[in-house]
């Protein structure tokens, strides 16, 4: 800057011009209403009339819940969903955690590509996965079995576990593992004694949400479940057209409550992690 600076010969410059903009809050709250109301409106209906939907409900009774718990097909479907969800979550959690750890701690050249392949089921349309699994199980003769359902859900859950656990591993301090290996711990020992305990919050939240995803999963189950292995969402889906009773309102309410519980549980796990981090530093 060696040019001779001059006095700016600018005259008085006018006043700024502007408007008020109070709309964001209103728009956001309308959106929240749009997001939350549908599920909330189901709740009063689930306590209402047994034969048809009446709104606002004129009476309060548990008839629909009673109906659900006394209908063996509904109970069977619910048990089946819980079974499939538990099994596939357990398998996906094991495989997904190992895969996430392997990917995060390896210096493979194809790491990026591997990750894309592993994660793609998360984003490609569920119906494509469903049809693929359907053809595959038809060929190997597993169609309609619980095994097929568990395998299918595991394929669908694994990418989610990998993403969640990888995020947890990224937060870990790799030097602790180095320290452990310097002290003579083997790879297996390091993984079980050092890595897993630190990952507990991620594992808890991955497990909870995997369970929920599997329990609510419709498309894959719709393609590969059989008459004897119908899951709850499949039964709900096929009964929307046929069922006249608003029993689905009761089921929907219970599913919504399950989602809320799982969200709160995961939030609790997250806070635990925050506390652990705060205690460390």
Partner 1 sequence: MTVVELKGVSRKYGNIVALDCLDLVVEKGEFLTLLGPSGSGKTTLLNIIAGMTPPSSGRVEIDGRDVTDMPTRQRGLGMVFQNYALMPHMTVFDNIAFPLRVRRVREQEIRIRVAEVLDIVNLRDLGGRKPRELSGGQQQRVAIARCLVYKPSLILMDEPLGALDKKLREQLQLEIKRLHSDLGVTVVYVTHDQEEALTLSDRICLMNTGRIEQLGTPHELYFAPETVFGAQFLGESNVLTATVSESSSEETVLRCSVGTIRAPTTSVATGAEVTIVVRPENIRRLAPGECIGNELSGELIDTTFVGGVTRYYVRPDNGSVLVLKELTNRTAWAAGSGKVRIGWSAEHTLVIQNIAGR
Partner 2 sequence: MSLGFIVPLGFIFFRSFTIDGVFTLEGFRSLLTSPLFVRVFWTTLEISLIASIVALAVGYPVALHISRQSERVRSLYLIMVLLPFWTSILVKSYAFTVILGDAGLINTALRALRLPQFEMIFNRFGVLAASTNFLVPFAVFPILANLLAQDPNLGKAAEVMGAGPLRIFWRITFPLSGSGVLAGFILTFVLSLGLFATPALLGGRHDMMMANLIDFYTRDTLNWNAASAIAVILLFTSAVLLLLLNRVRGTEKFA
Name residue, tokens 């808890």: 204
**With CB under 8 A, what is the number of residues at the site for partner 1?**
16
Q: Which does 260 bind (CB under 5 to 8 A by kind): partner 2, partner 1, none?
A: partner 2
Q: Contact, 101 vs 169, CB < 8 A?
A: yes
**Radius of gyration of the CA atoms of the chain, in A:** 26
Residue closer to partner 2 (CB basis): 123 or 183: 123
> Minimum CB separation from partner 1 for residue 16, in Å?
5
> Minimum CB separation from partner 1 for residue 18, in Å?
7
* DSSP 8-state class, residue 110: T
Neighbours of 145 (CB within 10 A): 16
Two structure tokens written together for 186: 């083997």
Interface with partner 1 in residues 17-76 (CB under 8 A): 17-18
Q: Contact, 194 vs 185, CB < 8 A?
A: yes
Name residue, tokens 């309060």: 60
Residue closer to partner 1 (CB basis): 5 or 26: 5
Which uninterrupted H or E stretch holds 84? Answer: helix 72-105
> Minimum CB separation from partner 1 for residue 15, in Å?
7
Ramachandran category for residue 173: left, alpha or beta (phi over 0 → left; psi -120 to 50 → alpha): beta
Q: Which does 173 bind (CB under 5 to 8 A by kind): partner 1, partner 2, none?
A: none
The DSSP annotation for 10-69 comes to -------------HHHHHHHHHHHHHHHHHHHHHHHHTS-SSS--SS-S----HHHHHHH
> Minimum CB separation from partner 2 for residue 21, in Å?
4
> Minimum CB separation from partner 1 for residue 21, in Å?
12
Residue closer to partner 2 (CB basis): 177 or 269: 269
Q: Which does 193 bind (CB under 5 to 8 A by kind): partner 1, partner 2, none?
A: none
Interface with partner 1 in residues 224-243 (CB under 8 A): none
> Minimum CB separation from partner 1 for residue 12, in Å?
8
Q: Which does 1 bind (CB under 5 to 8 A by kind): partner 1, partner 2, none?
A: partner 1
**1 near partner 1 (CB under 8 A):** yes
* Chain residues that interact with partner 1, rule: CB under 8 A: 1-3, 5-10, 12-18
């Amino acid at each position: 800057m060696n040019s001779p600076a001059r006095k700016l010969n600018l005259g008085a410059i006018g006043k700024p011009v502007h408007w008020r903009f109070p709309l964001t809050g209103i728009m956001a709250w309308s959106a929240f209403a749009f997001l939350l109301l549908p599920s909330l409106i189901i709740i009063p209906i689930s306590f209402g009339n047994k034969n048809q939907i009446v709104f606002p409900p004129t009476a309060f009774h548990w008839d629909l819940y009673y109906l659900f718990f006394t209908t063996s097909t509904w109970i069977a479907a619910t048990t089946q969903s819980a079974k499939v969800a538990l099994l596939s979550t357990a398998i996906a959690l094991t495989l997904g955690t190992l895969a996430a750890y392997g990917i995060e701690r390896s210096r493979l050249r194809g790491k990026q590509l591997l990750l894309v392949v592993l994660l793609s089921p998360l984003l490609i349309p569920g119906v494509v996965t469903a049809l693929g699994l359907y053809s595959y199980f038809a060929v190997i003769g597993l169609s309609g079995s619980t095994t097929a359902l568990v395998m299918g859900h595991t394929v669908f859950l694994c990418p989610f576990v990998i993403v969640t656990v990888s995020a947890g591993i990224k937060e870990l301090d790799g030097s602790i593992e180095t320290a452990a290996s310097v002290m003579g711990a083997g790879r297996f020992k390091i993984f079980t004694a050092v890595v897993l305990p630190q990952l507990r919050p991620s594992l808890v939240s991955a497990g909870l949400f995997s369970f929920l995803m599997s329990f609510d999963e419709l498309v894959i189950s719709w393609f590969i479940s059989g008459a004897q292995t119908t899951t709850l969402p499949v039964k709900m889906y096929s009964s929307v057209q046929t069922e006249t009773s608003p029993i689905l309102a009761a089921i929907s309410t219970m599913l919504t409550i399950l989602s809320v519980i799982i969200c709160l549980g995961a939030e609790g796990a997250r806070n635990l992690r925050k506390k652990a981090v705060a205690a460390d530093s």
